[in-house]
Chain A
Amino acid sequence: MRYDLVIIGAGLAGMSAALAAVKMNKQAVVLSKGLGSLYSSSGYIDLLGYYPTTEMKPVLNPARALDVLVEEKPDHPYSLVGKEAIREAFTDFLSISREIGLAYSGTLDENILMPTAAGALIPTCLYPETTGKKITEAPVITVVGIEELADFYPDYAADNLRHRLKGEVKSVWASLNIKVKRELNSFDIALALENFHVQEALIKELENKVPRNSLIVIPAVLGVQNWQQVTKTIEKALNCDVLEVPTLPPSVMGYRLAEKLQQHLKHKGVDFITGHPVTHVKCSGRQRLEVGISLGSGKLKKIQGDSFVLATGGILNEGLLACPGSIKESVFDLPIVNDLLHVDRDFFSLKAQGLSLAGVAVNSNMQPIDIKSGQTIYENLRAAGATLAGYDPFIEKSGNGVALASGYKAGKLAIGA
């Protein structure tokens, strides 16, 4: 089978490239070893939370901070993607998000602060519409924990939030009366809350504990499919606003985004071949012709394409492989910038970790380049997302932003738009 665009990697960067392809009615395939880390992510599309990275205070206007970043850090993926393309990717995403039934709100010009499960505040610029409530402005906040859930502690979160909010912060536990003989994660609770009776149980538990008109901060467990309706039901019954907080993996907010995007792309004719890594590559001169995935016991499925986008992720998702003493790119063995492991021994350091900074160097066409000569390695290969060098998404709070913008640009250029 021959495709217009072969995308390797099913995370946000890969799907973003696929979005660009289907927009131009091109036939794309997404090949991936597994489902990618979007399922573990917050579901926020953060552009830039802190700049410079060592800054303690959050960026208020990410678009303006981006201007400075582009000036100061020419090798940062954002600088290579360019401000215009970033804005286009974000704007397109906002409109697609409505189309796929998971509407996002926000703009590039403002970060709003969201509570985290530990009770810190985290800046982001695009967020699911249902979470568009400003906790910093709420006069009364009630943090709700679910007794069946081991991944959220309302007192702890509230205690930390109290130190950084003006509003009054309370915390309560609610039992959903789910009796199964195992511990439940956020995804399980979200499944249970699809059920009307469980929603009722939650409302009943909270009726007398939550003051009217308060902002309810609750782990993101309000349904895997129908969270919009579940959120509304609870808001109406309790006369409160409800704000979901992303939790430890499996993250329901990440799941919703991943699944909705995937469904949308499948319906637009994108094939997803998941569960097998790309192990074979063939090229002619500076053109990539073919990739192959090894199936089961070693048989090779070959897939030809006009263009290729590499969006296999960083160290976490095995787009980059850390070996003793060096880092390698896992599909095409592309040259790596910062391949020597520099480890900052302070886990909570505000300096970027070597493991995150390392990656593939690209030019502004998102084509991987030779580090010394700056020359393009393959004309029809582009890279996007965490595979790229030069940024630490966890410190900057830029992971999904870079994935979305670089994926979109790589996809767009790859199909020749």
Chain B
Amino acid sequence: MEKTQVVVIGGGATGTGVLRDLALRGIDCILLEQNDLATGTSGRFHGLLHSGARYAVKDFSSARECIQENQIIKKIAPDCIEDTGGLFIAVKGDDPNYIKSWLENCSLADISIEEVSPSDLLQTEPALTKDISRVYMVPDAAVDGFSLAAANALSARNLGARVKTYSCATGFKIEKQKVRGVYVIDRYTGQEDYIKCEFVVNATGAWAGQVAKMAGIGLNITPDKGVLVIFNHRITNKVINRLRPPGDGDIFVPHGSVTVFGTTSQTTSDPNDSEAAAEDVLRLLEEGKQLFPGLDKMRLIRAFAGVRPLYQPDGAGSGREATRDFFLIDHDRLHGLEGMISMVGGKLTTYRLMAKAASDHVSKVLKVDKPCLTDKEIIYPPIPKQKEYDNKQLCQCERISSKLLDLAVKDKVRFTLNDVRRLTRLGMGPCQGTFCTFRAAGYYHQSRSLKAAEANKLLKEHIQERFKGSIPVLWKEQAQELELTRGIYLGLLNLERLESDNHEI
């Protein structure tokens, strides 16, 4: 049994943000995450650090929060951000009245706007449609959700907080209407444990309803699925938004060497529903072609879905209509359960604000009189942004050296190649792990003295996971890539029969 003041459940941006905020206030805390950090919505979105402009018309208070947080995050997490700037583009036929009110509200929200001439823009962004009517530059940026969560967790850990990944909260110990502790199971070893604590922060996003239910509380979370695709190369150097009421397929975000494009909006019952279908992808492409006419000729490397943790306090709107605002649900006040709050709604751009609200609340309850410091100090992810050019690259698509592979698993007892990938971008290039998976498995087998079976498992899981993401886009190059990957892992290495092929000849 372990003991701590606060248990934070959920290893996304919000959870790691709360952990860091509390740790900075000197509060002892433990984070529980059922998978690896940022495997939920924080790692499954378009990676857009909103300027707020997208919400200026429909969700004004969100827009205000976004622009303020946008400026703070750029300052405190420079290694997690690529400050690309963003464009809002109206094409011929888009509603001029919307543009007018958009401009007014952006100005009210203090979002800086600069008009760009369409012909100048086409010089630097030649892939865009020639049908542009108006373009505005806004302070959008690209943000890496994986490294942001990792940077928050690293900072918290350096302050004494504990981070437990692959540790799933299975229930709460509740006595006298107060949460006394959390039951937890180690998903690798199956070992059960109990953590005694004074307070629990439920920061599990789309899973918040499930976690609250373990405490006997009903929370009206509607998981809303958004499908995104990844293009093989950078088709734009700036974030591109369509200047119209937010809809499907109107955000392009350049991310390192790739472009993320989305999204859709579809209510789902299961927060684990992360599968994209080919129909979703084709629908997205149709939409996207209005901005990039050559879009269907560009290589897609995978598609995935993330689940937005939309919360409807009064059961009002859903999907695109639901507010992007966040809510602190005080279960003491609302449900008469002491020692627990749930953070719901919101978006990655405002994660720090959510963390601050949660930590302010916790500090008050625990009677810790310390201010929030998360807007002051800079945080760094475990893998530095500027990668030096190293000879021993194991992943040539994304230039990942063996040194980075070492760094990625430095504090880890157990890991998967997927965990390594989220930190380093291993296997995120066009070949989607075809070449680097074998190398990484062989490399870790040696450097971490793994057993053959463990290395085989690393390899197979990663190939399988990469394959899964390519299924919705299994045509043209990615179909070829699959056949090449099968040619190597089945045809050349014969790995499908590895476990049970004790050839007794």
Of B52-60, B81-89, B471-479, the one contacting chain A is B471-479
Which chain B residues (368-416) contact chain A, with CB distance < 8 Å?
Answer: 391-394, 396
B452 and A163 contacting across the interface, CB-CB below 8 Å = yes
Encoded as 1 (CB less than 8 Å from any B CB) or 0, chain A from 327 to 366 comes to 0000000000000010101111110010110000000000
A181-B495 contact, Cβ under 8 Å, with A113-B505, A323-B475, A324-B475: no
Tell me if A's interface is mostly helix, strand, loop or mixed: loop
A153 and B446 contact, Cβ closer than 8 Å, known pairs A118-B493, A355-B474: yes
Per-position 1/0 for B428-460, Cβ under 8 A of A:
000000010011011101100001100110011
The verdict on B494 contacting chain A, using a C-beta distance below 8 Å, is: yes
| Chain B interface residue count, Cβ-Cβ cutoff 8 angstroms | 53
> A156's contact among B441, B476, B482, by CB below 8 Å, is which?
B441
Contact B439 A316 (CB under 8 A): no
Among A249, A325, A350, point to the contact of B488 (Cβ < 8 A): A249
Q: Chain A: which residue is nearest B456 at the CB level?
A: A160
**B-contacting 9-mer, from A64-72, A81-89, A281-289, A391-399:** A391-399
8 A Cβ contacts from A118-166 to B: 118-122, 136, 150-153, 155-157, 159-160, 162-164
Measured between alpha carbons, how far is A332 from B441 in the docked complex, in Å?
42
Give the residues from 350 to 370 in chain B that come closer than 8 angstroms, CB to CB, to chain A: none
Contact check, B435 vs A347: say whether CB atoms are below 8 A apart.
Answer: no
Q: How far in angstroms is the closest Cβ of chain A from B496?
A: 4
Q: Closest chain B residue to A159 by CB distance?
A: B452
Residue A117 is within 8 A (CB to CB) of chain B in the complex: yes
Whether B334 is near chain A, meaning CB under 8 Å from some CB there, is: no
Q: Is B297 an interface residue (CB 8 A)?
A: no
**Proximity bits, B478-505, A CB within 8 Å = 1, else 0:** 0110111111111111111110111101
Instruction: State which of A150, A162, A322 has its C-beta within 8 Å of the C-beta of B393.
Output: A150
> Which chain B residue has the least Cβ–Cβ distance from A343?
B471
Flag if B491 contacts A394 (CB, 8 Å): yes
Q: Tell me, in angstroms, the Cα distance from A67 to B392 when the chains sit together.
A: 49
Q: When the two chains form their complex, are residues B483 and A153 in contact, meaning their CB atoms are under 8 A apart? A: no
A117 touching B492, Cβ below 8 Å: yes
What's the Cα separation between A329 and B494 when bound, in Å? Answer: 29
Q: Which of A40-93 contact B (CB under 8 A)?
A: 40-42, 50, 56-58, 60
| Residue among B441, B476, B480 with the highest chain A CB neighbour number at 10 A | B480
Contacts of B464 in A (CB 8 A): 346-348
Complex contact B492–A121 (CB within 8 A): no
Q: Does A27 contact B (CB under 8 A)?
A: no
B442/A156 in contact, CB under 8 A? yes
State whether the Cβ of B463 lies closer than 8 Å to any Cβ in chain A: yes
Question: Cβ of B479 and Cβ of A155 under 8 Å apart?
Answer: no
Partner of B394, one of A136, A150, A345, A397: A150
Q: Residues of B at under 8 Å CB distance from A?
A: 278, 282, 391-394, 396, 435, 438-439, 441-443, 445-446, 451-452, 455-456, 459-460, 463-464, 467-468, 471, 474-476, 479-480, 482-498, 500-503, 505
Q: Is B503 in contact with A121, judged by CB distance below 8 angstroms?
A: yes
Supposing A315-B479, A316-B480 touch, asked if A348 and B490 sit within 8 A by C-beta, the answer is: yes
CB pairs A–B below 8 angstroms (6 shown):
A120-B495, A120-B501, A121-B503, A159-B455, A163-B502, A318-B480
Q: Pick the 8 closest A-B CB pairs, nearest first.
A: A153-B442, A322-B479, A159-B452, A316-B483, A394-B490, A394-B491, A156-B445, A122-B494
User: Which of A316, A317, A345 has the most chain B CB within a 10 Å cutoff?
Assistant: A316
* Contact A150–B452 (Cβ < 8 Å): no
Contact present for B492 and A116 (CB under 8 Å): yes
> Which single residue of chain B is at the shortest CB-CB distance from A350?
B496
Chain A residues with Cβ below 8 Å from B489 are: 347-348
CB pair A355–B488 under 8 Å, yes or no, is no
- With A116-B495, A314-B483 given, name 15 new contacts (CB 8 A): A42-B491, A56-B501, A58-B503, A116-B493, A120-B501, A155-B446, A156-B445, A162-B452, A248-B488, A316-B484, A322-B479, A347-B463, A394-B487, A397-B491, A397-B494
* A393 B474 Cβ-Cβ under 8 A: no
Which residues of A does B touch, CB under 8 Å?
Answer: 37, 40-42, 50, 56-58, 60, 113, 116-122, 136, 150-153, 155-157, 159-160, 162-164, 181-183, 246, 248-249, 251, 314-318, 321-325, 341, 343, 345-350, 353, 355-356, 393-395, 397, 399
Across the interface, B443 reaches (CB within 8 A) one of A116, A118, A153, namely A153
Are A322 and B471 in contact, CB atoms less than 8 angstroms apart?
no
Give the distance in Å from the alpha carbon of A136 to the alpha carbon of B505 in the complex.
8
Docked-complex contact A155 and B494, CB < 8 angstroms: no
Using Cβ atoms and an 8 Å threshold, which residues of chain B touch A57? Answer: 501, 503
A121 touching B493 by the CB < 8 A rule? Answer: no
The residue on B at minimum CB distance from A326 is B475
Shortest Cβ distance from B274 into chain A, in angstroms? 14
Expressed in whole angstroms, the Cα–Cα distance for A58 and B487 within the complex equals 18
A318–B498 Cα gap in the complex (Å)? 30
| Residue in A closest to B501 when the chains form the complex, CB atoms | A56
Question: Once the chains are docked, how many angstroms separate the CA of A399 from the CA of B486?
Answer: 12
Q: Which residues of B have CB within 8 Å of A41? A: 487, 491-492
Q: Which of B392, B393, B493 contacts A120 (CB 8 A)?
A: B493
Chain A residue at minimal CB-CB distance from B394 = A150
Residues of B within 8 A of A317 (CB): 480
CB distance from A172 to the nearest CB of B (A): 12
Partner of A155 from B445, B459, B463 at Cβ < 8 Å? B445
What residue in chain B is nearest A397 (Cβ atoms)? Answer: B491
| Chain A residue with Cβ nearest B389 | A181
- Give the residue of A164, A343, A348 whose beta carbon is less than 8 angstroms from that of B501: A164
Checking A118, A157, A249, A349 against B495 with a beta-carbon cut-off of 8 angstroms, the contacting residue is A118
CB-based contact A183/B393 at 8 Å: yes
CA distance A251 to B498 in the complex (A): 21
> A150 and B439: CB pair below 8 A?
yes
| A-side contacts of B479, CB under 8 Å | 315, 322, 355
Nearest-Cβ distance from residue A262 to partner chain B, whole angstroms: 21
- How far apart sit A321 and B477, CA to CA, in the bound complex (Å)? 9
Query: Nearest-CB distance from A317 to chain B (Å)?
Result: 8
- For the complex, give the distance between the alpha carbons of A393 and B463 in Å: 19
Which residue from chain A places its CB closest to the CB of B488 in the assembled complex? Answer: A248
Bound state CA distance, A314 and B487, in angstroms? 12
Chain A residues near B451 (CB, 8 Å)?
159
Q: A119 to B452, Cβ gap below 8 A?
A: yes
> Are A56 and B482 touching (Cβ within 8 A)?
no
Q: Given A121-B503, A183-B392, A399-B491, is A322 in contact with B442 using a C-beta cutoff of 8 Å?
A: no
